[in-house]
Chain A
Amino acid sequence: MQRTAKIFIAAMVIAAIAALVWFYATVDPTTSPIKLLCPIKAVTGYDCPGCGFQRALHAALNGRWAAAWHYNAFIFFLIPVAAIYIGADALRHRHPHLHATLNHPLPLILLAISILLWWLLRNIL
Chain B
Amino acid sequence: MKIWIYTEGEQRGPFNIDEINTLPIAPDTPVWHSGMANWEPAIRVLPAMPGFAGFGPKTPAEPDSDTPETQEIIEEVEGVTDEVESPADTQVEPEVTSWQQQVWQQQAAEAQRTTAQAAAQAPQRPAAPPTFIGWSIALMVCCCGSPFAIAALIGSIVTSIRYSQGNYEGARKASEVTEWLVMIAIALSVVCAPLWGMLF
Residues on A with beta carbons closer than 8 Å to the beta carbon of B130: 89
Are B146 and A33 neighbours in the complex by a CB distance under 8 Å? no
Checking B128, B138, B146 against A40 with a beta-carbon cut-off of 8 angstroms, the contacting residue is B146
Does A103 lie within 8 Å of B128, measured CB to CB? yes
Interchain residue pairs with CB less than 8 A apart (14): A20-B193, A38-B144, A39-B144, A41-B143, A50-B141, A53-B142, A78-B137, A78-B141, A85-B133, A108-B157, A109-B157, A111-B137, A112-B153, A112-B154
Asked if A49 and B146 sit within 8 Å, CB to CB, the answer is yes
A23 interface contact, C-beta 8 A = yes
Where chain A touches its partner, the secondary structure class is helix
Binary contact readout B102-121 vs A (1 if CB under 8 angstroms, 0 otherwise): 00000000000000000000
Chain A residue nearest to B190 in the complex (CB)? A16
Q: Is A115 an interface residue (CB 8 A)?
A: yes
* Docked CA distance A97–B13 (Å): 52
| Residue ranges of A at the interface with B (Cβ–Cβ < 8 Å) | 20, 23, 27, 32-34, 36-41, 48-51, 53-54, 72, 75, 78-79, 81-89, 99-100, 102-105, 108-109, 111-112, 115
Q: How far is the CA of A50 from the CA of B128 in the complex (A)?
A: 29
User: What's the Cα separation between A89 and B133 when bound, in Å?
Assistant: 10
B137 touches A85 (CB 8 A): yes
- Within B129-176, which residues are at the interface with A (CB < 8 Å)? 130-131, 133-135, 137-138, 140-144, 146-147, 149-150, 153-154, 156-157, 160-161, 164
Chain B residues near A104: list those with CB within 8 A.
Answer: 160, 164
Contact A82 B143 (CB under 8 A): no
Are A105's CB and B160's CB within 8 A?
A: yes
B135 to chain A, nearest CB (A): 7
- Please list the 6 inter-chain residue pairs (A to B) with the smallest Cβ-Cβ separation, ordered nearest first: A85-B134, A38-B143, A50-B141, A86-B134, A82-B138, A53-B141
Closest B-chain residue to A86, C-beta based? B134
- Chain A: minimal CB distance from B155 (Å): 11
Q: A108-B133, A112-B157 are in contact. Are A86 and B147 (CB under 8 A)?
A: no
Additional pairs, 7, CB under 8 Å, beyond known A100-B128, A104-B160: A50-B149, A78-B138, A78-B141, A83-B134, A99-B128, A111-B137, A112-B157
**A36 in contact with B147 (CB, 8 Å):** no
CB-based nearest A residue for B131: A103
State A49–B147 Cα separation when bound (angstroms): 10
The complex places the Cα of A23 from the Cα of B192 at a distance, in Å, of 14
Q: How far is the CA of A27 from the CA of B196 in the complex (A)?
A: 11
Asked if A36 contacts B143 (CB within 8 A), the reply is: yes
Which of the residues A32, A53, A78, A100 comes within 8 Å of B143, measured between beta carbons? A53
